[in-house]
Every structure is written in C-alpha cells, then in structure tokens.
Structure 1
C-alpha cells in the first residue's frame, strides 16, 4: 500500500492530539477506505468530498488528516487494493497450468473476466485520472504497487517463446494491456451497444493478440508457436 506521511496529528488540522497506535491507525484507515470506496462507486470520485466521507464514518472532517494526507491518497490506496486483487486472481488462475502457451492464454482470459465480474472496480481504477498533488509527488502507475506488477506479462511472454527476448517486450506488454482494457472498457462502460456475446469477443481478442505476437517473432524467421 502507499506509504503514509505520519500517524501523528502535528499540523494545524489536529495539533495537540496524541499519536494513534498502529492498530488505531489501521482500523481508522480501513473504515475510511470502505466508506470512500462505496461513495466513489455510487457518486463518482470528483463528487465525493472529505466532509462527506467523514460524515459516513461518524468522525469530524478534520480527523481525516490523521489517517490520510488528502483525498487523492485515499483513492490510491483503493487502486492498490484493486490491482493486488487483480494480479492475485490472474496468478492463481495459471498456477496449475504447465504449457507456456496455455498459461499466457489463461492469464489473458482471467484478466478480462476479472474486470467483467468487477465493473465497479474497473470504473474506479480506470475512469479516474491520476493527478500529482505536489512537485514531490509521483504517479501511482510508477509506484511498486502500480504497474510494475505487470512485469509478470514479460515472464509469460518469454516462457511462451524465448525469441521474445530479442523483441520489444515493453511494446508487447503494452499491446496486450491495451487489448485487455479495450474489450473490458467497451463491455463495461458501453453496455448499451449491440455487442456480440462477451465470450465471442474475448476469443477474438485473444486470437488477435496471439496473431500479433507471432507476427513479431516471425519477423526474424522464428517458427510460430501456433
């Protein structure tokens, strides 16, 4: 999870209050996170204020700063929690599969199905743009709990075909992510469009990914895996 600056109320918004114990800090954060997550899903991130969050926790608005530095920190905790669940789900889905090709395919299917089964999490993560709060701040995507975890895709690609080591792995990973998010976005955010069955679209998306990957390794005369 993203690190907190401090657990002491030493600024003007909580001066003089004793430091929270580790357990008090964790319990308070989890309560605030649960309330904020529900409100973000219901009303949208921009429409939810710190005051509104704290009203639903039966705490004063100024108590918020004992747990988080700002509202952006709250959604980043939620993003980290969602991505941790995502990668845990995908990793478990391929744990017992031996074939490198089937492992890669199973990962792709698990990733897409995860978002289709948790559309609210998809919206929170991908329909709320990250912003920097200060010059010292960094984007969530650059944090260890962010997209560094997508390195598992590189590992799957290298297992699928060692020739990928001679290719642009970053491009391949981004191509896969764009395709997975593209179908998920379309089916979740635009459900009113006359889509073909999700299973059909998922099959075609995965076929397209493998065709593209094979085209990349075939440029150097490598043998296709399909």
Structure 2
C-alpha cells in the first residue's frame, strides 16, 4: 500500500514490489498475476475496514432513519479521514476499466455496499417499494461518492460542513417517494 500511495500505480512494477518485500519477482508472481491483483487486494482491505466501521456505527443507532444517516455520514467521513485511501481507490492513474470491473463486480465487495439498501429497506419496508429502494440506494452511493470527491479534490472551496451536506442528501432521498 505504501508503494502505491507514494509512487502511484503506473510507477510500480512487480520487481519494485518484490524488492520492497525483500523477495524475488518470481516469488511475487507465484502469488499474484500482476500488480493490479495486488492493488485489488488492497482495495478489498480498504473497503472491508470502511464497512466494518459502518456496521459497528449503525448498531448504535436507534431507528432505521438514524441508521441510514449514520451509515451515510460514516461513509463520507471515512474518505475524508483517509484521503490517501480515497486517492488509492478512486484516483489511481493507469487503471483501466477492465481492471476495476473484476473488483467492483466481486460479490463480497457488492455485498458490503448493501448496507445502504438494507437501511433504506427498513425505512421503506413495503414489498412493492423494493425497486425504489434499490434505485434510492444506488442514488445514495453515487451522491456520497460525489460529496467525498468534491470535499477532497476541491478543498479550497468553502463547502458547508460534511454533516450538513450529507443530511440534506439523505433528506432528499427519504422524502422523494417515487412511483411504486
């Protein structure tokens, strides 16, 4: 992780990784097909840490709406508190869409994002609302990533506090009923 953060994906080679780990490149290739596989393992760990924290945080919440608010704010705050992880996951240069596709479509990764759908399903429990719940959870994930992106990359702008931005986003998502 340190190498990827310091030098960037493009500048890293399997030989460089092997040297840092005090191994031969052949040894590294025995366990990994390439550096994207190593980076994917790092991404998995970052998301596991993030979602483990969110699960703990929402256990303390008293209501479905409060769980959603805690999860959403916790998601944005994680990236704000771990900007180096944000840049590694979302802004690594030299990553191709095909490289990311395998990671994003991995069942374990997708299951972790389900925390938002579960929270929304508690707020909208009707079986007829499940398509809307899915849509709202996707909207929420896009919104939270956009909030984090702007707060991190356009930090010189005098944004409102993250708590207020996230609360307004949640208010909009909860209040919009949609058609069932």
TM-score w.r.t. structure 2 length? 0.87
1:119-158 matches, cutoff 5 A: 119-128=83-92, 129-132=95-98, 139-158=102-121
Structure 2 residue runs of 5 or longer lacking an equivalent are none
User: 2:22 and 2:122 mapped to 1: Cα distance?
Assistant: 52
Q: Which runs of 4+ in 1 moved over 6 A?
A: none
Give 2:42's match in structure 1, choosing from 57, 60, 78: 78
Question: Alpha-carbon deviations, 1:172-203, whole Å to 9, x = none?
Answer: 11111111111111122232x22235xx2431
Which one of the candidate residues 189, 195, 201 is aligned to 2:153? 189
Say yes or no: does 1:171 pair with 2:135. yes
CA distance in 2, matches of 1:169, 1:66: 43
Q: Indicate yes or no: 2:44 matched with 1:90.
A: no
CA contact (8 A) 2:116 2:137 kept: yes
Q: How far does residue 130 in structure 1 lie from its aligned partner after superposition?
A: 5.0
Deviation at 1:74, TM superposition (A): 0.2
How many residues get paired? 177
1:89-138: CA deviation from partner (whole Å, max 9, x where unpaired): 111011122211111111111111111111111111111345447xxx96
**What is the root-mean-square deviation in Å for CA atoms of aligned residues?**
2.2
In structure 2, relative to structure 1, the CA distance for the partners of 1:173 and 1:130 (3 Å cut) is farther
* 1:28-84 superposed Cα distances (whole Å, 9 cap, x missing partner): xxxxxxxxx101111111111111111112222222112212111101100110111
Question: Of the two structures, which has the highest relative contact order with CA contacts closer than 8 Å and spacing of 6 or more?
Answer: 2
Partner-residue secondary structure (3-state), 2:108: coil
Name stretches of at least 5 consecutive residues in structure 1 with no aligned partner: 1-36, 221-226
